[in-house]
Amino acid sequence: MQLARVIGDVVATRKDPGFDGTKLLLLQPIAADGQNVGRTLVAVDSVGAGVGETVFFVRGKEAGFPFHPTEMPADAGIVGIVDQPQIFTK
């Protein structure tokens, strides 16, 4: 799992029928300290996330698991919303 900030909605007038009824969001991957890392990406939302929230996302085959038994043609999927991050130091 990786952390990301939701930075936008993706609106598509035509898309694969496998995405019918799902929400697509634009993510900016972030490090544990909140700094941007990597390139933005589009992910399918399985948890009801919104713009401005910090989320957990997965890549690859696991992105479609929350929609089982439907086969979701996704490379990235949001699987959790971060309520409050806590960083522990020694």
| 2-32 confidence digits (pLDDT tens) | 999 999 999 988 888 888 888 999 999 999 8
Is 88 domain-assigned? Answer: no
| 50-83 confidence digits (pLDDT tens) | 999 999 999 987 887 777 777 778 889 999 999 8
Is 87 domain-assigned? Answer: no
Q: Total domain count for the chain?
A: 1
Specify the pTM.
Answer: 0.86
Is 89 domain-assigned? Answer: no
- Residue 12 maps to which CATH number? 2.40.50.220
Is 86 domain-assigned? Answer: no
> What's the pLDDT score for residue 78?
95
> What's the pLDDT score for residue 54?
96
CA distances from 5 to 28, 67, 70 (A): 5, 22, 26
Question: Which tokens belong to 4?
Answer: 């990301």
Residues 6+ apart with CB under 8 A from 22: 44, 45, 46, 67, 72
Range of the domain at 11: 2-81
**What is d(CA 21, CA 32) in angstroms, rounded to the nearest whole number?**
32
